[in-house]
Amino acid sequence: MVRKFSDSLKELREEHHLSQRQLAEILGLAYSTVAMYENGKREPNYETLENIADYFNVDMNFLLGKSIVKNSYVHEFGEITLDKLIRKIPLYDFISCGTGGFVDDNIIDYVSLPASMFSARKEYFAQYAKGDSMINVNINDGDLVIFEKTSSVTNGMIGCFCTDD
């Protein structure tokens, strides 16, 4: 039997102990939209489908009922490959917490981390924290900090800011 998107969405939402209203808020959708998705009365556009897959860390084919595998770790021939399980994140020089500083654009190494920690469609980089001004948010001197590259941040987010100067 082929799974429907509506069934996949409801299953994932319930596994994460979310109400339809909570999921709608997380995804930036109207509550009625999520309800219609789960009732099979409406299908999401590609961007929304991508956002849902990213949030639940599942393959879009699973959401659409084209695969019974939630995550895309299984190669089409059924073999698990290491490069599907590991993601190499570029590591730059130390980042100064609180005081600012200069960082050159040279990648000094790569950090291998579980791919399940990241969205396949987003770009990330890593730096080691230098200083103790971020201790109150559990970033200590010497901690490895992973950043998602983005063009904007919202109030309350922690960010690393770079300029072209």
Structure-token match 């109150």, residue found: 136
> Which residue ranges form the domains of the chain, and what is each CATH number?
5-63 (1.10.260.40), 82-148 (no CATH)
**85-119, pLDDT tens digit by residue?**
788 888 888 877 776 666 667 888 888 888 888 88
Judged on CB neighbours under 10 Å (0-12, 13-18, 19+), 62 is buried
pTM, entire model: 0.46
Do 76 and 111 touch, CB atoms closer than 8 A? Answer: no
Q: What is d(CA 164, CA 91) in angstroms, rounded to the nearest whole number? A: 19
Q: How many other CB atoms are there within 10 angstroms of residue 75's CB atom?
A: 10
Identify the pLDDT of residue 134: 80
Which structure tokens are listed for 22? 């909570």
Which structure tokens are listed for 151? 């063009």
